[in-house]
Amino acid sequence: MLVNYCELKNLGAVHRLREIKGNRKLNETHVSKFNSLHMRRRSVVLSHVLFYTFPAFCLCQTLTDTAADTAFRNPEAQALQIFYGQAEVFLQSRQIELAIAVLENLNSRNPGFRDVPAKLAAARKELAARRISERADTEFAVGKLAYEIGDWASAIIAFEKALAVNPDHREAAAFLRLARERMSLDNKNKLAERYYNEAAEARARNELQTALDLFEKARSFNPQYQNVEQQLGEAREKLARINQEIEALYAQAAAFLTAKQWQEAITTLEKIQLQLPAYRDVVEKLTEAKAGQRADALLAEAESRRVKMYWIGGAMIALVTLPIISLLMFSPASRAHALVMRGNLQAAADIFENLLKSDPSRVQLYKEVAEIYYRLGRKDKRSMEVYKMVVQLNLPVKHRTEIKALVSQNFMGESDVNVERLRLPAPEKMRLRTMSWPEHLEAGLTAVEQFADKALESALARASLDLSHPVLLTQVIMPMMQEVGQRWSEGVFRVEHEHMASATIRNFLGTVIESYTPPAEAPVVVVTTPKGQMHELGALAAAIVAASEGWKVVFLGPNLPAEEIAASVKKVRAKAVALSLIFPEGNAEVDKELRRLRTFLGASVGMIVGGRAADSHAVTLSEIEAVRVNEVHDLISFRKILETVRLKY
């Protein structure tokens, strides 16, 4: 303050001097006095400056020397100072990621160093805000591009995503308003046409509730489109009539449950579920009926075991006392079983071999022959062919593990070979003619028509010998179920035909899945259907494709809520979830379940969704970043999707 004051006074003197010179009133005496006064004042100023600043200068120099000496003696402190300086530079230049990296390093080396924790928290907060802004800007750029080419629907979706990330994005809000305003009548007509056609297809499949919802959507875009009002009225009337029929069926099912007629109750409830899957408490009552049926089956099985023990005792007495009569009266298979019980294994094997020669399609006899040959210790060519057939067909034998090891050693030379995946040609001496896939499809449909579940099992087993699993799925099983459904809708088949075919094929596909043995390090995929989706054959087909691609498959069955699926994924540490959506289509509850599942899973697990109803949930699937495949049996695209998910997650 002293220096500034003196300088101001000197400046005032100079101005005065100039003023005086201008008035020509200055003489030599005045000049010498002024110079003398000016020099004295400068001396006073200099002495004050030195008096007040020199001690501070000495103190600063001492502190600087001490800090330098300390840093020289402590390299860690010197390194911390250098890192801190770098972090300051990065923060000032707005290189937030680099600044965070340096600050995290500082915090790990010396927690609490200076103001590092505060700076680190502020930097992370700024980085998170920047990323949110960048994501919103990216969605906005996508929306703006769609807006410029006139794709209003895509633009609206992108702008809404941008606002969902950053609600304060003013440009996105403005363009969203414009895009909604500029959605042309032409686009509305296209949407109306799409929903109208889908509604007509749903009505043809007798899915009236779905058809009604789709007609409503078509009318919302264009109330004058074709005869949409008339179609809506007809759909409502037909649905009302069906609801009356469903109500009568529901009352009938309740009566069956009260009378504990479980099978009749199950058949009636499933008939309701096929037409209206979410009707009242049908799912709970169906579960109750199946549980009651299982309980009765267990009681019957216990009674059967008790009776069987008496039968075995009687059979043993008969075998001991009447061997000749038994051999004369029994059928060949019965005689063979009797010989096995008496210990005459080779004679029993000869009978079974003769039966196979006369009818090679009796594949269940292979397990009898395999057990006998194993007990005899045979390892010749014929026994190996029988062992190989048993492993291929995945037949339940007592010594399956040992037989599998024998086949692996004999045919592959490695004990860890997955024998189930071998495609075995039918041996000529067994006279098994290789059939084409149309013949296998026709054989399966004939078995369904005759309501012969055992014949259908044999047809599927024969098909698995002649065809690879992909061909079996795409050319036989999936077309068979479509044809069964079509004949049911036309009234050719009854509902019991559809249920028998579904149950038999479900058991067969489950056996096929179990036949795959993935390596220990294989990625895991959980396969199921979400809550409200009761049809599981599509999910089973997806499971087989995944297993054939080397994935470890965990199949959970149908109709599971999102939290149960997520819990299973966490438990088995799955990389992906594969979901099948078949019926109903466009269900809002399924959309909610899909969103909840993505919330539970987070972004670290892939979601693959396929099936006939997947297209009706396209907006939701895009929102949750799920990979969509139109048809599960489109194996080429599904395999590519599996490989992409494997690499990404």
Give per-residue pLDDT as tens, 477-496.
888 888 887 888 788 888 88
Pair 583, 610 in one domain: yes
Q: If you search the block for the tokens 């895991």, which residue do you land on?
A: 524
Residue 71 in any domain: the answer is no
Instruction: Could you list the beta-strand ranges (E) of 453-593.
Output: 524-528, 552-555, 576-580
Determine the Cα–Cα distance for residues 404 and 390; give it in Å rounded to an integer. 9
Pair 463, 504 in one domain: yes
Pair 243, 263 in one domain: yes
What percent of the chain clears pLDDT 90, i.e. is strictly above it? 10
Question: The domain that contains 283 carries what CATH number?
Answer: 1.25.40
Question: What residues make up the domain containing 88?
Answer: 80-180
pLDDT of residue 528: 94
pTM score, two decimals? 0.38
- Report whether pLDDT(598) > 90: yes
Residue 75 in any domain: the answer is no
Task: Evaluate whether 448 touches 500 at the Cβ level (below 8 Å).
Answer: yes
Determine the Cα–Cα distance for residues 452 and 67; give it in Å rounded to an integer. 95
Average pLDDT over residues 376-404: 81
Cis (ω within 30 of 0) for the bond into 277?
Answer: no
Determine the Cα–Cα distance for residues 144 and 155; give it in Å rounded to an integer. 7
Pair 247, 338 in one domain: no
Count of domains forming the chain: 5
Residue 26 in any domain: the answer is yes
Determine the Cα–Cα distance for residues 617 and 581; give it in Å rounded to an integer. 9
Lowest mean pLDDT among 107-111, 406-410, 495-499, 597-601: 406-410
Q: What count of other Cβ atoms lies within 10 Å of the Cβ of residue 602?
A: 8
> What SS3 class is residue 403?
helix
Closest among 275, 296, 277, 299 to 286, alpha carbons compared = 277
Which whole-number Å values give the CA distances from 279 to 250, 271, 286, 447, in the listed order? 9, 11, 12, 32
Pair 446, 510 in one domain: yes
* Helices H / strands E in the chain, number of each: 28, 5
Task: Evaluate whether 553 touches 547 at the Cβ level (below 8 Å).
Answer: yes
Determine the Cα–Cα distance for residues 373 and 397; give it in Å rounded to an integer. 12
What percent of the chain clears pLDDT 70, i.e. is strictly above it? 77
Pair 450, 573 in one domain: yes
Q: What count of other Cβ atoms lies within 10 Å of the Cβ of residue 32?
A: 10
Pair 275, 199 in one domain: yes
Closest among 581, 543, 488, 490 to 270, alpha carbons compared = 488
Question: The domain that contains 349 carries what CATH number?
Answer: 1.25.40.10
Pair 476, 574 in one domain: yes
Average pLDDT over residues 373-397: 83
Pair 20, 44 in one domain: yes
Query: Which pLDDT band holds residue 15 (cuts at 50, 70, 90)?
Result: very low
Pair 403, 458 in one domain: no
Residue 305 in any domain: the answer is no
Residue 641 in any domain: the answer is yes
Determine the length of the chain.
649
CA 456 to chain centre: 32
Residue 72 in any domain: the answer is no
Determine the Cα–Cα distance for residues 442 and 428; give it in Å rounded to an integer. 24
Give per-residue pLDDT as tens, 425-460.
444 434 445 688 888 889 999 999 999 988 898 889
Give per-residue pLDDT as tens, 42-62.
454 445 444 444 444 444 444
- Report whether pLDDT(19) > 80: no
Task: Evaluate whether 251 touches 557 at the Cβ level (below 8 Å).
Answer: no
- Report whether pLDDT(158) > 80: yes
Pair 219, 273 in one domain: yes
Residue 468 in any domain: the answer is yes
- Report whether pLDDT(69) > 60: no
Max CA distance (Å), the chain: 165
Lowest mean pLDDT among 122-131, 236-245, 292-301, 504-513: 292-301
Residue 312 in any domain: the answer is no
The residue type of 545 is: V
Determine the Cα–Cα distance for residues 30 and 637; give it in Å rounded to an integer. 106
Pair 471, 608 in one domain: yes
Q: Which residues contact 318 (CB under 8 A, 6 or more apart)?
A: 326
DSSP states of 410-445 = IIIS-TT--GGG--PPPPGGGT-PPPPHHHHHHHHH
Question: β-strand 606-610 against 576-580: which pairing, if any?
Answer: parallel
Q: Which residues contact 247 (CB under 8 A, 6 or more apart)?
A: none
